[in-house]
Amino acid sequence: MKILLTGAAGFIGSHLAEALLGKGHSIIGIDNLNNFYDPALKRKNLSEIEATAKKLKGKFECHQGDICNEDFIVPLIKKEKPDGIIHLAAMAGVRPSIEDPILYETVNGLGTTVLLEASRQAGIHHFIFGSSSSVYGLNTKVPFAESDPVNLPYSPYAQTKRANELQCHVYHKLYKMNFACLRFFTVYGPRQRPDLAIRKFTELMYEGKSIPILGDGSFRRDFTYVDDIIEGVMKSLDWITQNSSQPKYEIFNLGESATTSVLDLIHLLEKASGKKAKLDFKPVQPGDVPITYADISKARQILGYNPQIPLEAGIPRFIQWFKGI
């Protein structure tokens, strides 16, 4: 199949591009290569995808542009006529969204609307959306299930992701398009963004600097290795493109279904790196939630999703990659 992949140069997008190439798909990538973090890292990711495409004799091309720009998106999708769209491009992160909610609403809201409308106009029926566990907010029922209430988001980022899921549902109902909305839980691994906790903590440990710990370090996260996330996306692509008498719309949690405290995470980083962490305890920040914890029974049952890499195995893999960059 020909897949249009937004956010192709990013952390998850670059891994997904290589996995799609490995399955024989051709890829039309989109990325704006913005400066949310160093664009050189994204260009390096693109170089690695291109090397993979060359090795596999596959087709990959990436267009630099803004998903909010109709004059860029609509003609591109009409010209390429992809068999499906995987939409990962977004302004990411809870705390930055509190500092600039208008930017997040613009990129995540308008950008997704432009892609959905371009898809409708081009007659594309398969759309996978990268959502986030942040939509669960301060949910106290654990683990989090897709049927849990998500009407009380705790950050502008979470609000945009939930709104995007609802946008997809509108297009499913009005235009009989097929959707899989995937709620990612705290993804880590090689190529991880520099602003994310595991990479940030590791860099500070190697530099001999203090790690800022928000609260008492008891906050827990469902850390999910990027290879397991990619497996879930690939299985959702198989599911969404299977013949069905009725249009599909489903939301799936993709996580490890295990939680680890921040302090326990740091102990694993110390063990894998041989470094000793210096800790600097700070007040909890607005938008932070005490726990994320994925109930993945729905993804197991419908998609055959089966994560393989627990945190104890994933951290050493991440450290090995980090030491090589």
**pLDDT truncated to tens, each residue of the chain (325 aa)?**
999 999 999 999 999 999 999 999 999 999 999 999 999 999 999 999 999 999 999 999 999 999 999 999 999 999 999 999 999 999 999 999 999 999 999 999 999 999 999 999 999 999 999 999 999 999 999 999 999 999 999 999 999 999 999 999 999 999 999 999 999 999 999 999 999 999 999 999 999 999 999 999 999 999 999 999 999 999 999 999 998 889 999 999 999 999 999 999 999 999 999 999 999 999 999 999 999 999 999 999 999 999 999 999 999 999 999 999 8
pLDDT value of position 168: 99
Q: 180 - beta bridge partners?
A: 128, 250
Helix then strand then coil, in percent of the chain rounded to 5, is: 45, 20, 35
Task: For strands 126-132 and 84-87, give the pairing.
Answer: parallel
Is 53 within 8 Å of 60 (Cβ atoms)?
yes
pLDDT at res. 25: 98
- Whole-prediction pTM value? 0.97
**How confident is the model at residue 325, as a pLDDT?**
87
Determine whether 305 is an active site residue.
no
E-assigned strand segments in the chain: 2-6, 26-31, 60-64, 84-87, 126-132, 178-184, 187-188, 210-214, 220-221, 224-225, 249-254, 260-261, 278-282
Architecture of domain 2-189+224-257+293-308: 3-Layer(aba) Sandwich (3.40)
Given the residues 157, 171, 188, 293, the one annotated as active site: 157
DSSP 87: E
Question: For 218, phi and psi rounded to 5 degrees?
Answer: -90, -10
* DSSP SS3 for 242: coil
pLDDT value, residue 243: 84
